[in-house]
């Protein structure tokens, strides 16, 4: 299972501060979860074939090996603290559960 998260930063949030927090706090915590195979955060840099602004500034991709275990993992106090911090940065994030077509 792959979780894709799309979001913009809240107004007034400095992108450099968020990115530093993401790299030093969020990414290490999520990658350490036993149920997670990988976690990557991307900054959106533009739209292919267009000068228009992308609808989101950041994309997170979480590769989850065990969704039941993931639920247990994210319920931990340490992960809940990081989730609350993420809420301080991200403005109305969209969390999408996906499955590769070849695995349906």
Q: How far is CA 98 from the centre of its chain?
A: 14
CATH code at position 80: 3.30.70.100
Q: How many domains does the chain have?
A: 1
Domain extent at residue 60: 2-47+55-103
pLDDT of res. 102: 85
pLDDT of res. 76: 86
Please tell me whether the overall predicted TM-score, pTM, comes out greater than 0.85 for this model.
Answer: yes
Q: Are 64 and 2 in contact (CB under 8 A)?
A: yes
Is 66 a residue whose pLDDT tops 80? yes
Nearest residue to 35 via CA among 61, 75, 64, 4: 64
Alpha helices in 15-76 (DSSP H): 15-21, 27-31, 67-74
Q: Return d(Cα 65, Cα 48) in angstroms, integer.
A: 31
Is 38 a residue whose pLDDT tops 70? yes
Is 104 a residue whose pLDDT tops 70? no
């Amino acid at each position: 299972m792959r979780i894709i998260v799309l979001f913009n930063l809240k107004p007034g949030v400095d992108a450099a501060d968020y990115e530093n927090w993401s790299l030093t706090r969020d990414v290490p915590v999520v990658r350490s979860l036993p149920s997670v195979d990988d976690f990557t955060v991307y900054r959106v840099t533009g739209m292919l074939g267009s000068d228009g602004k992308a609808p989101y500034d950041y994309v997170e991709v979480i590769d989850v090996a065990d969704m039941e275990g993931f639920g247990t993992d994210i319920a931990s106090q340490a992960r809940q603290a990081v989730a609350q911090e993420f809420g301080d940065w991200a403005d109305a994030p969209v969390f999408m559960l996906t499955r590769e077509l070849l695995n349906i």
